[in-house]
Structure 1
Amino acid sequence: MSSSTTETEISRKVQSVGGSSFTVSLPKEWATDHGLEAGNEVFLYPHEDGTLILRTCERSDGTTAPDLSVDDLSEDRLPWVVYALYVAGEDRFTLRTTDRFTSAERRAITTAGNDLVGLEVDDESTDAVTFRSMRRSERLSVGQTVLNLRYVALSMHRSATNALFDADSDRAREVLQQPEDVDRQFALVSRCVERRIGLPRGPNRPNVDRRTALDYYAIARELEGVASCAERIAAVALELDDPPTGTAESELADYARRSRTVVERAVEATINGREPETAYDALDRCETLAEDFDLLERPSYDADEIDSYYAALLFDALDRTADHGGRIAERALKMGLREE
């Protein structure tokens, strides 16, 4: 049987041994390194892109429940363990101590779980807390979760600009309290992606191909950035004694609206049929807005309209908003062209 080997790949010729199957030999050195002998069983996992993964042991189907000792962790680190196991895609997991949890430790653990979408405390004792997922993973739509994240991020952005123009400090403070909503939605996207990549084909795996799952993760990251821009606008709104007026108000309102439109159109291009034309439209809008920002350079307004320092901060936040939308549109275009 002929074969060839390089540092990055090993090739083998497919052989026919009967009417129902083909065989391919494994490199002896690789098999020895992994403890394989003749007669051992290996496991094959086909993927949509044509890849066939070979493993020497069966991959978990996601039904094994981790049971972790957290004796050596401080109270402030316990929530990170809950978050990490949730994002890793676990449907059920337990945090355990050899002695007993203090009231503060138990509160830190359960609060962290309650802050995550679809997670609840399933069992609780003096020395252990067990969580379980309330929603079946196959019912989770990564695309719908991205749409939810877009809604939260753009709602924050819209509320922040309204707070700015209305001098509404209460609304600005509400915006600054909303990042937790963004974090929850992003954690859910991360969870869906981890399950898609980590689980073998089966009923527990979200129904989306690997590349699309990674695309959605990247888009969710950009939407996190849009929410951060909203926070910056809200922070400026709290700093200002009076709202922008005159030309400053009209230009800021125009740029805010247009930057959000870039994001809206870009996300639409990733979800609704993935039409490249929608992505092109978002990219055109982003480019036009960037050119207008360049022409604006350092905004200079009358002192009674807005302080130039705060104007610069606001335009920078809006410029970044459009940039996030542009990167989503680039990702959407790639997704759309890949399917043609």
Structure 2
Amino acid sequence: MRVNWYVRKLQKIRHGSYVISLPPEWVSKEGLRPHNELYLITNDGCLFIYLPYEFDSVSVDVTNIDNTVIKYLILTYYMQGASEIYIYSQGPLPAETKRFVKEVVRKLRNSDITDMGLTYMFVKFKDETPFISLNDFLEEVDNMFKFVVNAVNDLIDGLINDNSIIIKEVIERTEDFDRNYRYMIRIISKMAQFPQYNVFSSPRELIAYAALSKDLSRAVYHLSKVAEHAMDSDIINNEALILTRESYNDLYKFYKTQNLELVAHLRHNYAEIKRRLAKSANFAEYELRRLAAYSIALMDDILNIYLVPPKKKKLIGNN
């Protein structure tokens, strides 16, 4: 796809309306005719003109495809906003494959298998609302952030107090995170592809929140690895644990308040954690260092969300 840049002068017509001409090559390419409806969306100095596109059903031939590849196909199409996947095979779908697909779909938010036959399965995805609001989106992000911070606090309490019940519970809890993470990426992808879904003033916010969501997901991954290796009796430096817990608590405060004084504190904590674990060779402490490193990555993500220079309107060809 090639992006073209056009400059048009604003024209005034009767009854106070204004018009601009559309590039004829775009009109021709899209097969438009006079009186066709176009949708207009205004957003922070931008006017989007778009056709009422929607996603088509996706058809996937899984003949001779491994189940792990089928899983990646389902997850990727889901996160990219698909509303329906038709999974089929040239011969009967094995019962094992059908059970596997059911288990994958069960772990996806707002997903269901609506029809099934000897050689096919229909998987449907439906969002809670057709148009998400800004408040809904930010609440989803906030819930993900609190999930991570609460899991870090509980895990470190379990490790310091040598409580295997808490550690196991945190491991099981982190498995639920991916469900909401994938839904968040799905919503971001739909907002990026369809202007009517975008609750932000520009694509910049979508990129920033996608990075934040991804880094929260990576933090959860390393959190679960700390817990798993700790169950194998790896000894973990208590001071590093306490500093990691403090960092994630400060990180959430920073996300909510944008208090820049916390930046120096977060960086100091991470430097101290690295110093304390620099000579460690055990797996649990290696994963703890990675978990601490994501507190800095998340701090950068938050800065990229909020530290944005103001824009100045520039009128072209103003007569």
TM superposition score normalised by structure 1: 0.73
Partner of 1:92: 84
Matched, 1:109 2:101: yes
Name the stretch that deviates more: 92-101 or 79-88: 92-101
Q: Which of 210, 226, 248 in structure 2 is aligned with 1:260?
A: 248
Q: Which of 210, 213, 218 in structure 2 is aligned with 1:220?
A: 213
Q: Which of 289, 292, 304 in structure 2 is aligned with 1:319?
A: 292
User: 1:166-213 CA distances to partner (integer Å, 9 max, x unpaired)?
Assistant: 334454455445443222111010111122233353xxx475555444
1:104 positional shift:
1.6
Matched, 1:159 2:154: yes
Over aligned residues, Cα RMSD in angstroms? Answer: 3.6
Distance 1:133 1:27 in 2: 36
Residue correspondence of structure 1 range 261-340 to structure 2 within 5 A: 261-267=249-255, 269=256, 278-280=257-259, 283-294=260-271, 298-299=275-276, 308-310=280-282, 313=286, 316-317=289-290, 319-334=292-307
1:30 positional shift:
5.6
Distance 1:38 1:122 in 2: 38
Q: Is the 8 A contact 1:119 1:133 kept in 2?
A: yes
1:137 positional shift:
2.5
Equivalences, count: 304
Q: Look up the equivalent residue of 1:96 and give its one-letter code.
A: Y
Q: Is the 8 A contact 1:143 1:216 kept in 2?
A: no
Distance 1:79 1:287 in 2: 42
Distance 2:27 2:100 in 1: 46
Structure 1 unaligned spans of 5+: 1-6, 270-277, 302-306
Q: Look up the equivalent residue of 1:88 and give its one-letter code.
A: Q
Partner of 1:184: 179
Judged with a 3 Å threshold, the aligned counterparts in structure 2 of structure 1 residues 132 and 297 are, in CA distance, closer, same or farther, namely closer
Structure 2 unaligned spans of 5+: 312-319
Q: Look up the equivalent residue of 1:313 and give its one-letter code.
A: Y
Judged with a 3 Å threshold, the aligned counterparts in structure 2 of structure 1 residues 20 and 155 are, in CA distance, closer, same or farther, namely same
Residue correspondence of structure 1 range 129-140 to structure 2 within 5 A: 129-133=121-125, 135-138=127-130
Identity %: 15
TM superposition score normalised by structure 2: 0.77
1:312 positional shift:
6.0
1:73 positional shift:
3.2
Judged with a 3 Å threshold, the aligned counterparts in structure 2 of structure 1 residues 286 and 75 are, in CA distance, closer, same or farther, namely same
Distance 1:193 1:233 in 2: 29
1:118 positional shift:
1.6
Partner of 2:20: 24
User: 1:3-52 CA distances to partner (integer Å, 9 max, x unpaired)?
Assistant: xxxx96321222234336433334456666x2768748473432413333
Judged with a 3 Å threshold, the aligned counterparts in structure 2 of structure 1 residues 35 and 329 are, in CA distance, closer, same or farther, namely closer
Q: Look up the equivalent residue of 2:292 and give its one-letter code.
A: D
Partner of 2:9: 13
Judged with a 3 Å threshold, the aligned counterparts in structure 2 of structure 1 residues 227 and 297 are, in CA distance, closer, same or farther, namely closer
Distance 2:25 2:250 in 1: 54
Q: Is the 8 A contact 1:121 1:130 kept in 2?
A: yes
Judged with a 3 Å threshold, the aligned counterparts in structure 2 of structure 1 residues 294 and 83 are, in CA distance, closer, same or farther, namely closer
Q: Which of 228, 231, 240 in structure 2 is aligned with 1:238?
A: 231
